[in-house]
Structure 1
């Protein structure tokens, strides 16, 4: 999982890593299905899934029905802002889950009796966006499966944050931005950090946005300076805009350089 996630963070952003990641989770856990689902107040949308050959339409219908019947995972993660993986059963109690419409939906579409949520993006501020992996299993989740998902959850959240930043920026700057990034030897991760530099975020805020350490951010910034032959944030942002790596109206960075530190 770690190897796949690192590889995903280094790709150019033209292909989503999630089909591969959900497939890896499904195979490793030995479960019926794993989906990556995005939920807002109005709708529920599966973004990627591994479901043993079950068709796209059926996966989307399950997502819609889960939203309509009030799947307990949706309400819990939207209201509690809880980052930990949870089963629907532990949120409602065994009897309530056994008799719930949400369990009937999971059993009808995936043959699953048990459902577990692994949040990647929790609602924050004015945003009501909720995104996470949902794992469907015929059997109760074992302690080993739960432990694995707890270890994997920070990695999945980091991949999700990276992909959302990169996807949003490529829509603004155009897909050619990733091609230009490759011409200058920039990895996908370095391009993501560059994009957030262009939004005038300090290293600490970039680290929080991407779920990585400040030291790692500073290392990426140092690599950007070296590869683009620049000396500070302002010069880097201006050059990146002129090269088409950033949208032309990105906020300019303050004129004081931020030199990467070792601590």
Structure 2
């Protein structure tokens, strides 16, 4: 087995493991640690939005020797600016993984490494979708370009990263539904969503249930989650069995009555739709 094939197998195995993780905040750390190892990088960053230089959340995993470098405020500012990735992905609609040096030449930037902490080499893997086009992962190395093998790995692993991210977004949405109701909003018309564990629902089944509540077909759910319609139908069958229902309508109704799903109030519905649009 080639090195790239072995790395892909590790990420696939990790993706399967992640589908059983109930904490959406833990997913980034698991993926970043694997990207750091697979790409022989010094630091791996997940960028979650079209950020300003001095604000915006991000997740960073570093090798121990590089921790102090990437903890520095100026380093984090450079990462948030995201050059040349932010400019390229925002202006072109491109969604392919790219090396920073290659983008620098494409956009006539004389020294792209001055936009990275300590003049490091950088490699970006965007997460395609309707979210900000600079959303995705950036890897850093101090002393060597990311070569063809890493580029090939990035292309192959990108669909897995997208699927994991969609799982994280849906679990975060489910958690946010609980926060909206428990915050005391008088317009929310459902009990606080219960933990799915007593019903035996896995995190993956929970995300499928969320999309069922949005009246999506199995094919549409599959596109959202990066799986086949046949796999979606298997999840749906298990959800029916665990909730003791026979069809989608009764399943969503029972899930709402039991607190597994909340009904967002009008003030929250628009933001919820924006969060879940993929």
Give the shorter-chain TM-score range.
Answer: 0.7 to 0.9
Q: Deviations over 1:18-50 (max 9, x none)?
A: 112111111222111111112226566353221
Shift in CA distance, 230/56, structure 1 to aligned 2, threshold 3 Å: farther
Is residue 18–residue 36 contact of structure 1 (8 Å, CA) maintained in 2?
yes
Is residue 32–residue 51 contact of structure 1 (8 Å, CA) maintained in 2?
yes
Is residue 41–residue 128 contact of structure 1 (8 Å, CA) maintained in 2?
no
Give the aligned partner of residue 4 of structure 1: 14
Shift in CA distance, 78/210, structure 1 to aligned 2, threshold 3 Å: farther
The total of aligned residue pairs comes to: 241
Shift in CA distance, 250/214, structure 1 to aligned 2, threshold 3 Å: farther
Shift in CA distance, 156/128, structure 1 to aligned 2, threshold 3 Å: closer
Unaligned runs of 5+ in 1: 252-263
Give the superposition deviation at 1:180: 2.5
Give the aligned partner of residue 47 of structure 1: 58
Q: Secondary structure at the match of 1:10?
A: coil
Q: Deviations over 1:187-207 (max 9, x none)?
A: 101000101111222222222
The answer on 1:119 being equivalent to 2:130 is: no
Is residue 45–residue 60 contact of structure 1 (8 Å, CA) maintained in 2?
no
Give the superposition deviation at 1:107: 4.0
The answer on 1:132 being equivalent to 2:128 is: no
Distance 1:106 1:66 in 2: 7
Shift in CA distance, 171/226, structure 1 to aligned 2, threshold 3 Å: same
The counterpart of 1:26, out of the listed 33, 36, 39, is 36
Q: Deviations over 1:180-232 (max 9, x none)?
A: 31111111010001011112222222222222222221221111111111111
Structure 1-normalised TM-score? 0.81
Is residue 181–residue 245 contact of structure 1 (8 Å, CA) maintained in 2?
yes
Shift in CA distance, 203/94, structure 1 to aligned 2, threshold 3 Å: closer
Is residue 120–residue 153 contact of structure 1 (8 Å, CA) maintained in 2?
yes
Distance 2:24 2:85 in 1: 31
Give the aligned partner of residue 258 of structure 1: none
Give the superposition deviation at 1:66: 4.2
Give the superposition deviation at 1:143: 1.8
The counterpart of 1:190, out of the listed 202, 205, 217, is 205
The counterpart of 1:87, out of the listed 87, 99, 114, is 99
Give the superposition deviation at 1:130: 3.8
Give the aligned partner of residue 164 of structure 2: 159
Distance 1:233 1:56 in 2: 52
Is residue 22–residue 171 contact of structure 2 (8 Å, CA) maintained in 1?
no
Unaligned runs of 5+ in 2: 1-10, 183-191, 267-278
